[in-house]
Amino acid sequence: MPASPSPSLETRPAGAFSADAAGMMLTLTVAGQLCGVQVLSVRDVLGVQVITRIPLAPREVAGSLNLRGRIVTAVDLRSRLGLSPREAGKGAMSVVVEVGGELYSLLADQVGEVLSLDAGERSPNPPTLDVSWREFSLGVHRQGDRLLVLLDVERLLELGA
Amino acid sequence: MDDLLADFLTETNEGLASLDAALLQLERNPANSAVLSEVFRTVHTIKGTCGFLGLPRLEGVAHAAENVLGLWRDGTLPVTRGGVTLILSAADRIKQIVAGLEAMGSEPAGDDAPLKAALDAAAAGEAPPKAAVQAEARAPVAMEALIAAEAPAAAPPDAAPEISAGGVNAPQTIRVAVDVLEDLMVLVSELVLTRNQLLQLARSEENAAFAVPLQRLSQITSDLQDGVMKTRMQPIGNAWAKLPRLVRDLSNDLGKRIELDMRGADTELDRQVMELIKDPLTHMVRNSADHGLETPEQRRAGGKSETGRILLNAFHEGGHIVLEIGDDGRGLNTERIKAKVVAQGLATEAELATMSDREIHRFIFRAGFSTAAEVTSVSGRGVGMDVVKTNIERIGGIVDLRSREHRGTTFTIKIPLTLAIAAALIVEAGGERFAIPQAGVLELVRVGSGDGPKVELIKEAPVLRLRDQLLPLIPLKRLLRLETEAEKPDAESFVVVTQLGSQLFGIVVDRVFDTEEIVVKPVAPILRHITIFSGNTILGDGSVIMILDPSGIARATGLGVETAADNGAMQAQSSRHLGRHTSLLLFRAGEGAPKAVPLSLVARLENLEAARIERAGDSLVVQYRGSLMPLVPLHGLMALPEAGSQAVLVFGDGVRAMGLMVDEILDVVDASLDMDTAGVRPGFLGSCVVAGKVTEILDTAFWLKRGQADWFEPATAGGGRPSVLIVEDSGFFRNLIVPSVIAAGFDVTTVVNGREALRLRDAGERFDVIVSDINMPELDGFGLARAVREGGIWADLPMIALSGRSEPRDVERGRAAGFSDYIAKFDREALLTSLQQCLQPALVR
């Protein structure tokens, strides 16, 4: 998929930030599963990037990349979620999030759009949810016939040490 | 105004600025003990300092206010509105006096008695509760009246300060929060990186329109970087401020007389570095006082003055700051250290026997090593020299010591001026690039191709025989698990010879690129557990690259023998003394002691057929590589062998060659040249013990002149090759440059620093052009250029500067010092072109 940062990020109406923002989710796809991260923690969405491998790093760490002079550590969501690796030749999109003052890039297969989700409609993890997802899920939203898993970003980045 | 007073005023103004706000907060919330404590502290500090400075008015007011505040703090007196007003007016009075002090340098005249009386009354008010209540009710009115009444009296002295406020004596310094400076530094670092990227882009573009503004931007960025660095610089004296008191207390506790001598307190270094060395420094001073110095009785018995001395010395050297912490005490007890080393199993008796005292002393940097016979209250808190060493190495510094029994011990710490920007060598291993901080890199050795040095295996451990020392090797690829299946064992690679304290080891990499100034950034928290990396950075081409930490690498492989007690087979090899020795060629010639010559001076060893040797007049010659080579018998009356062969040491400098005839070549050995010059005879420099035998060391120059009287005359005199003097302290760069310059048709002479070069000038040596490094010990390139231009036989010679930094600013500086050209170190092509250009005018003439 070509680099097409979700346009709705840019066209977000000013002022819609306060109350609604907390319910705004950026959707992304990992191994066919639709998931979402809170827009508030997202700093950037990038197309396929040059990523420097980091030897001895945890398996889930894909490497580091340069985002306008800041070093961003990339975490491969497929690897983190214990899923099969991406097909060779298929690049990953970078969703750059800020956690604890540090920038991390979550590598996803595709990045979708920004949705406004009502926290009231969120349901707990269904028992059918794959066990590899359950650990990092804050809950699920029903999107038509699809299920959106809300990702726990901080949990995803509890790596190393 | 003296400095002390100026500091006091700055501090007091700062305190007063927050005092009003704090008091008002207190008034709103009298129960806030934190604010109350802060107010009390501020006033207390003012009182204490002005008592010391002799400012009676200020002291009186502050004292009276402090009394009230003290009672509030203790809870004996409730905080009241009236009371706060009273304190506020005291604060106002303090401000008035301070303003007067600033304007005139002394306290203005004035009467504070009524204010003090009111404060005292408030303080005494707690005794009869009724009065307190009344005071509370009445205080505001009373105070207002009081102030009103006083105003006229106070007016005359106040007038002056008001006029001159912000005038001539306005403070020349401002205090800036450290965070602001840190942010600035980060921004400048980013700017430097961006600038580097732009320069890289511009390089590939010929005649770009933005080349000129970019040059300017580059220069401004460098200046800005310098400027911001300066703001972070603090005199080392700030880190020493607490030491006199510490030493005084220690001297009381220990019953010793100690004099603390601090030199170079105004030497500046980055505040971040300073924070990091403060504790190790304190620890070392404490050690000196506790372990190093003797008691007055012991000193008297040893014929020393009763007062022991601790010397702190700081000075700049290259891009580093050097700190010395020395004492004139008893020195380290070598025997006791040896006993402990053996007891702890760190080395065997046999190993110790081969070590110098200095190497043995370095064992005190090992973990858990304390030589104090008993643990005293002062030292022995579980913080040993190993922690000091680790902390210093963590910031890229090195620590070493010198000790002589009964004469004292001196620790030397060498640390970089700043941690933010460092020079690094960019290398590649397993297809990935990494940065190795240049501070610890001694040299680069190419291995595995052709006849050059090769990696050998001792059991499983790879080693490199480097100048007959065994250097333990760490293959970076294997360490980082970047090895691929089909690995050619003999593939060409490079060994980065790295020094960590006294320890030498080699990091094996696939390729070596360039050196680059890098901005060190910490790695993300999820990667901090990988101790092999000290940070990461963005290179000029925009790529992210990890910075290797040599001490982390050494630890990870069990090589960090001085910090980690865990060992492997490697340790025994690596802890072998790796002191500086010279390889000597041993040979026999005539009767008497064996002879030796430094191997590096000998070009080749030949066994010539006797029949080939011819007589030409009084001398012997041989046809050798297309020309006639004179042969000199080392032994005056050596008979020419009728048949068989003749062993010859060939000396040569590219154009001329000379052969020295010897009886037999014995061996190549490693020995330190501790020369004894007693009974020296012509042709020899002296004698020393090599491999257990007294050996005479050949004076090569003497024999070369025997062979060719004009050996040391410049070859250009005869219209031959132009000669170049290369001044470069790094063996690595010498080896890099010299062969290509020789290959380009020059005669090369090398010296290791500017001082040596000037010695050649004063000896009347002549050259056609000088190539000089910038950063060198003793006398650097700029100093050399200036000295050359000042006069003497070299005053008009072209001079080319070689430097790792070739930014416009550096070039400018080089030209100002007298260099004709300025070239980046790795740019061999540019050097050769420049050499040709430098010589052209001379040829035209």
Measured between alpha carbons, how far apart are the two ends of chain A, in Å? 34
> Which chain A residues are closer than 8 Å to B532 by Cβ?
56
Do the bridges between strand A70-76 and strand A61-67 make them parallel or antiparallel, or are there none, so unpaired? antiparallel
When pLDDT is averaged across residues B735-753 and rounded to a whole number, the result is 78
| Separation between Cα atoms, residue B158 and residue B462, nearest integer Å | 81
Task: Give the residue from chain B lying closest to A102, CA to CA.
Answer: B524
B527 CA to chain A: closest CA distance, Å?
A: 6
Task: Give the residue from chain A lying closest to B541, CA to CA.
Answer: A66
pLDDT score of B739:
73
Run of H or E including B38: helix B33-53
Model confidence over A35-71: pLDDT tens digits? 999 998 899 998 888 899 999 999 899 999 988 778 8
User: B682: burial class by Cβ within 10 Å (0-12, 13-18, 19+)?
Assistant: exposed
B764 CA to chain A: closest CA distance, Å?
A: 54
Residue A96: band (very low, low, confident or very high) from pLDDT cuts 50, 70, 90? very high
pLDDT score of A26:
93
pLDDT exceeds cutoff 70 at B169: no
Tell me the residue type at A12.
R
Burial readout B575-606 (b: 16 or more C-beta within 10 A, e: otherwise): bbebeeebebbbbbbeeeebbbbebeebeeee
Cβ neighbours of A85 (radius 10 Å): 10
Please answer whether residues B409 and B402 qualify as being in contact, where contact means their C-beta atoms are separated by less than 8 angstroms.
yes
B90 CA to chain A: closest CA distance, Å?
A: 44
B428 CA to chain A: closest CA distance, Å?
A: 13
pLDDT score of B419:
67
Tell me the residue type at B141.
V
Residues in a beta bridge with B773: B802
Identity of the residue in B481, B525, B527 whose CB atom sits nearest the CB atom of A100: B525
Tell me the residue type at B819.
F
Identity of the residue in B482, B529, B538 whose CB atom sits nearest the CB atom of A55: B482
**Residue A9 contacts by C-beta under 8 Å, 6 or more apart in sequence?**
A26, A39, A42, A45, A114
Chain-chain contact of B527 with A57 (C-beta, under 8 angstroms):
yes
Chain-chain contact of B526 with A160 (C-beta, under 8 angstroms):
yes
Residue found by looking up tokens 């080939």 in the block: B612
Identity of the residue in A52, A58, A73 whose CB atom sits nearest the CB atom of B543: A52
pLDDT score of A3:
43
pLDDT exceeds cutoff 90 at B124: no
Interface of A with B in 86-145 (CB under 8 A): 100, 102, 104
pLDDT score of B486:
57
pLDDT exceeds cutoff 60 at B199: yes
Please answer whether residues A60 and A152 qualify as being in contact, where contact means their C-beta atoms are separated by less than 8 angstroms.
no
Cβ neighbours of B117 (radius 10 Å): 12
pLDDT score of B568:
31
Task: List Cα–Cα distances, B222 to B151, B300, B321, B384, in angstroms.
Answer: 55, 56, 21, 41
Chain-chain contact of B524 with A52 (C-beta, under 8 angstroms):
no
- Transcribe B643-679 into DSSP letters: SSEEEEEEEE-SS-EEEEEESEEEEEEEE----B-TT
pLDDT exceeds cutoff 60 at A7: no
When pLDDT is averaged across residues B5-34 and rounded to a whole number, the result is 79
Residue found by looking up tokens 């401002």 in the block: B174
pLDDT exceeds cutoff 50 at B152: no
Please answer whether residues A113 and A8 qualify as being in contact, where contact means their C-beta atoms are separated by less than 8 angstroms.
yes
B544 CA to chain A: closest CA distance, Å?
A: 6
The least confident of B63-67, B247-251, B615-619, B800-804 is B615-619
pLDDT score of B840:
62
Question: What is the CATH number that goes with domain B582-707?
Answer: 2.40.50.180
Question: What is the CATH number that goes with domain B3-164?
Answer: 1.20.120.160
Q: Which of A90-94, A132-136, B432-436, B823-827 has the highest mean pLDDT?
A: B432-436
Chain-chain contact of B544 with A71 (C-beta, under 8 angstroms):
yes
Residues in a beta bridge with A52: A64
Tokens of B825: 């170190």
pLDDT exceeds cutoff 80 at B130: no
Q: Domain B178-233 is of which CATH architecture?
A: Orthogonal Bundle (1.10)
Task: Give the residue from chain B lying closest to A100, CA to CA.
Answer: B525
Please answer whether residues B727 and B639 qualify as being in contact, where contact means their C-beta atoms are separated by less than 8 angstroms.
no
**Residue B468 contacts by C-beta under 8 Å, 6 or more apart in sequence?**
B581, B583, B668, B669, B670
pLDDT score of B131:
39
Domains of chain A with CATH codes: 7-156 (2.40.50.180)
Specify the pTM: 0.45
Residue B638: band (very low, low, confident or very high) from pLDDT cuts 50, 70, 90? low
In which residue ranges of chain B is CATH 2.40.50.180 found?
A: 421-574, 582-707
When pLDDT is averaged across residues B708-725 and rounded to a whole number, the result is 59
Run of H or E including B277: helix B271-287
| Separation between Cα atoms, residue B79 and residue B81, nearest integer Å | 7
Chain-chain contact of B525 with A65 (C-beta, under 8 angstroms):
no
| Separation between Cα atoms, residue B551 and residue B563, nearest integer Å | 9
pLDDT score of B844:
37
The residue ranking higher by pLDDT, B134 or B62, is B62
Q: Which of A19-28, B163-172, B533-542 has the highest mean pLDDT?
A: B533-542
Cα–Cα nearest to A37, from A90, A130, A104, A114: A114
Looking at CATH, the fold of the domain delimited by B237-416 is given as Heat Shock Protein 90 (3.30.565)
Chain-chain contact of B524 with A50 (C-beta, under 8 angstroms):
no
- Within chain A, strands assigned E span 24-30, 33-38, 42-46, 61-67, 70-76, 93-99, 102-108, 110-116, 137-143, 146-151
pLDDT score of B509:
93
**Long-range CB contact pairs, B560-568, < 8 A, 24+:** B560/B500, B560/B503, B561/B366, B561/B503, B562/B362, B562/B365, B562/B366, B562/B386, B562/B389, B562/B501, B562/B502, B562/B503, B563/B365, B563/B366, B563/B367, B563/B386, B563/B389, B563/B390, B563/B393, B564/B367, B565/B346, B565/B366, B565/B367, B565/B368
When pLDDT is averaged across residues B96-122 and rounded to a whole number, the result is 84
Residues in a beta bridge with B622: B613, B629
pLDDT exceeds cutoff 50 at B139: no
Tokens of A131: 């066990």
When pLDDT is averaged across residues B582-593 and rounded to a whole number, the result is 76
Helices (H), B112-128: 113-124
Chain-chain contact of B530 with A53 (C-beta, under 8 angstroms):
no
Model confidence over B246-269: pLDDT tens digits? 888 888 888 888 888 989 888 888
Tokens of A151: 């990702």
Chain-chain contact of B528 with A71 (C-beta, under 8 angstroms):
no
Residue A19 sits at the chain B interface (C-beta within 8 Å):
no
State the DSSP code for B752.
Answer: S
Residue B636: band (very low, low, confident or very high) from pLDDT cuts 50, 70, 90? low
In which residue ranges of chain B is CATH 1.10.287 found?
A: 178-233
Sheet with B408-416: strands ordered across: B257-263, B307-317, B320-327, B408-416, B398-404
In which residue ranges of chain B is CATH 3.30.565.10 found?
A: 237-416
| Separation between Cα atoms, residue B750 and residue B728, nearest integer Å | 7
Task: Give the residue from chain A lying closest to B537, CA to CA.
Answer: A71
Rounded percentage of chain A residues whose pLDDT exceeds 70: 85
Looking at CATH, the fold of the domain delimited by B715-844 is given as Rossmann fold (3.40.50)
The least confident of A87-96, B35-44, B104-113, B687-696 is B687-696
Tokens of B490: 């003999």
pLDDT score of B436:
92
Mean pLDDT of all residues belonging to chain B: 76
When pLDDT is averaged across residues B79-88 and rounded to a whole number, the result is 83
pLDDT exceeds cutoff 50 at B717: no
pLDDT exceeds cutoff 60 at B648: yes
When pLDDT is averaged across residues B164-188 and rounded to a whole number, the result is 70
In which residue ranges of chain B is CATH 3.40.50.2300 found?
A: 715-844
Question: What is the CATH number that goes with domain B421-574?
Answer: 2.40.50.180
Identity of the residue in B190, B430, B536 whose CB atom sits nearest the CB atom of A64: B536
Task: List Cα–Cα distances, B634 to B169, B475, B596, B658, B668, in angstroms.
Answer: 80, 46, 12, 12, 19
Burial readout B337-352 (b: 16 or more C-beta within 10 A, e: otherwise): bbebbeeeebbeeebb
Instruction: List residues of chain B with CB under 8 Å from any CB of chain A.
Output: 190, 193-194, 430, 432, 480-482, 521, 523-530, 532-533, 536-538, 542-546
For chain B, counts of helices (H) and of strands (E): 25, 34
| Separation between Cα atoms, residue A16 and residue B96, nearest integer Å | 52
CA geometry: angle B60, B62, B64, nearest 5 deg? 70
Task: List Cα–Cα distances, B753 to B159, B734, B760, B774, in angstroms.
Answer: 64, 12, 11, 9
Cα–Cα nearest to B662, from B683, B676, B681, B679: B683
pLDDT exceeds cutoff 60 at B803: yes
| Separation between Cα atoms, residue B165 and residue B180, nearest integer Å | 27
User: How far out from the chain centre does Cα B81 lie?
Assistant: 58
Residue B485: band (very low, low, confident or very high) from pLDDT cuts 50, 70, 90? low
Cβ neighbours of B93 (radius 10 Å): 24
Identity of the residue in A56, A63, A100 whose CB atom sits nearest the CB atom of B530: A56
pLDDT score of B453:
79
Q: Which of B204-208, B220-224, B623-627, B825-829 has the highest mean pLDDT?
A: B220-224
Mean pLDDT of all residues belonging to chain A: 82
Cβ neighbours of A83 (radius 10 Å): 17
Helices (H), B125-260: 129-164, 178-203, 211-232, 237-240, 243-254
Sheet with B821-824: strands ordered across: B747-751, B723-727, B769-773, B799-803, B821-824
In which residue ranges of chain B is CATH 1.20.120.160 found?
A: 3-164
B518 CA to chain A: closest CA distance, Å?
A: 13
